Amino acid sequence: MIDGARLLCYNCGWTGDLESLRYTCPRCGEPLTIVYDRERLVEGSRKEMKGRGVWRYSAFLPFPEDVEPVTLDEGWTPLHQSRLARGLRLKNEGLNPTASFKDRGMTVAVTDARRRGATKVICASTGNTAASVAAYAARAGMTSYVLVPSGAVARGKLAQAIAHGARIIKVRGSFDEALREVLRIVSSDRSFYLMNSVNPYRIEGQKTLAFELWEQLGRRVPDVVVLPVGNAGNISAIWKGFKELKEAGLADSTPRMIGVQAEGAAPLARAFEEGLSELRPVESPQTYATAIRIGSPVSWRRALMAARESGGAIISVGDDSILEAQKDLARVDGVFVEPASAASVAGYRRALAEGLVDGGEEVVAILTGHGLKDPDAVSRFDFVEVEVEPGQLSRELSSYR
């Protein structure tokens, strides 16, 4: 029994204990969330934070104290000051063990999988989840099954899944269709443990980014957090982290959450702008930021809640401005990110232009994945590359003047 924690459905109010493994609400089908009693959070705030990364915040995770984590030392990523804008800081999640933020959720979910005796884990993915699942499953001695939309996964991510020994299943369809397949499988065959962010343990791991930011800023929260949104697990998780920090008495405010989608895959931005309470999925989502090429985000309700409750927004940006931001991050800040991650900085620029954010405010952009994940994306950059015969270098260089 895990004291002071239970499952809650934010949609219909269903609640249940953590013992039996459930991902979605038995009443309405919404992804479930793990919630803590206030006393448990306050008690957690009094415990010493030991070590670095995700498990530093274990007092806020749903495990007994003697749990043995499956870990690769994820988290504790750098927070850089950007040279692009005075008020902008960059949380570099590309420096996690498999080079994306997914590792935060995976260490927690695989730890739960092992506690429950699972040997097979499964996910649908646009690439990063697959890479991370493959690595953590390897670490735990489990077999991983990853479903990816065929032809739409960045090369670096696929290479990782191959390297870590995942069984790779390409689905002739979109990410949304692949996820529907996976959800069908896990509901009928309990031998597969689900690794998508429908699994509430993933959210628990990813919320630690909020705790870490709070510490990195000297036990304060920023004014605004801006991040890319695809399936919408991460915005839900980080918002949950900030709310818990406040409830625990560690922070006295919460930041505004600004989620950013790519224009061709922006059902949440549209729902937010139009004040809708239902999601209208995008049938064939398009963007070169393949990580967030998602038309029917599974955590859409939680994401809208995060934006509305926090006083933030969900906005969209065009592929051109994503590319521009990706290039600027690489060439001005020295930080190479994949296209989806650059959506956060493109979103910051739009938010600034539209007055959603003030230049004097402290804003943290979450850079969710490393640029090497998607090496083909740089074919869109302008660059200089020549080939010379040995002995011809000085002639070539003098032609530049």
Taking CB under 6 A as the rule, does residue 125 contact ligand F0G? Answer: yes
d(CA 77, CA 94): 8
Is residue 390 classed exposed, middle or buried when 0-12, 13-18 and 19+ CB atoms within 10 A define those classes?
exposed
CB-CB contact of 227 with 340 (8 Å)? no
Look at residues 337, 339, 321 and name the one whose alpha carbon lies nearest to residue 329: 337
Q: Please, what is the minimum distance in Å from the beta carbon of residue 340 to ligand F0G?
A: 4
Q: How far is the CB of 203 from ligand F0G (least distance, A)?
A: 9
**Can residue 129 be called a binding residue for ligand F0G (CB under 6 A)?**
yes
Q: Which of 242, 236, 183 is nearest to 23 (CA)?
A: 183
Which one of 5, 209, 340, 364 is in contact with ligand F0G (CB under 6 A)? 340
Instruction: Say whether residue 99 binds ligand F0G (CB under 6 A).
Output: no
Residue 368 near ligand F0G by CB under 6 A: yes
Q: Which stretch binds ligand F0G (CB under 6 A): 79-87, 158-166, 337-345, 383-391?
A: 337-345
Beta carbon of residue 49, minimum distance to ligand F0G (angstroms, whole number): 25
Q: In the structure encoding, which two tokens stand for residue 264, read together?
A: 């061709």
* Beta carbon nearer to ligand F0G, 85 or 152: 152
- If one asks whether residue 197 binds ligand F0G (CB under 6 A), the answer comes out as yes
338 touching ligand F0G, by CB under 6 A = yes
Nearer to ligand F0G, 2 or 152 (CB): 152
Q: Does 222 bind ligand F0G (CB under 6 A)?
A: no
When asked if residue 160 is in the footprint of ligand F0G (CB under 6 A), the reply is: no
Exposed/middle/buried for residue 372 (C-beta within 10 Å: 0-12, 13-18, 19+): middle
Stretch that binds ligand F0G, among 8-16, 217-225, 229-237, 305-313 (CB under 6 A): 229-237
With CB under 6 A as the contact rule, the residue among 44, 53, 230, 264 that binds ligand F0G is 230
Helix/strand/coil for 236 = helix
When asked if residue 316 is in the footprint of ligand F0G (CB under 6 A), the reply is: no
Question: DSSP letters along 108-131, please?
Answer: HHHHHHHHTT--EEEEE-SSHHHH
Under the binding rule (CB under 6 A), the answer on residue 128 touching ligand F0G is: yes
Q: Determine, following the binding rule CB under 6 A, whether residue 234 of this chain makes contact with ligand F0G.
A: yes
Stretch that binds ligand F0G, among 69-77, 106-114, 127-135, 355-363 (CB under 6 A): 127-135
Residues 6+ apart with CB under 8 A from 207: 60, 237, 238, 240, 241, 244
Report how many residues bind ligand F0G under the rule CB under 6 A: 21
228 is a site residue for ligand F0G (CB under 6 A): yes
The angle subtended at Cα 309 by Cα 337 and Cα 369, nearest 5°, is: 10
Token look-up 């001695």 returns 141
* From 45-53, 230-238, 315-323, 324-332, span contacting ligand F0G (CB under 6 A): 230-238
Nearer of residues 74 and 338 to ligand F0G, judged by Cβ: 338
- Residue 357 binding ligand F0G, by CB under 6 A: no
In the block, residue with structure tokens 């506690």:
115
Cβ contact 129:98 at 8 Å: no
| Distance, CA of 138 to CA of 399 (rounded, Å) | 52
Contact (CB, 8 A) for 284 and 344: no
Exactly one of 24, 71, 92, 231 binds ligand F0G (CB under 6 A); that residue is 231
> Among 292, 306, 342, 346, which residue sits at the site for ligand F0G (rule: CB under 6 A)?
292
Sign of the CA dihedral running 234, 240, 243, 247: negative
CA distance 37 to 22: 20
Does position 33 bind ligand F0G by CB under 6 A? no
| Identified binder of ligand F0G from the candidate list 127, 205, 255, 295, rule CB under 6 A | 127
Phi, psi (degrees; rounded to nearest 5) at 178: -60, -40
CB of 42 to ligand F0G, least distance (A): 28
DSSP string, 5-61: EEEE-TTT--EE-SSS--SB-TTT-PBPEEEE-HHHHHHHHHS---SSSGGGGGGGS
* Contact with ligand F0G (CB under 6 A) among 304, 341, 346, 347: 341
What residue ranges bind ligand F0G (CB under 6 A)?
A: 100, 125-129, 197, 228-234, 291-292, 338, 340-341, 368-369
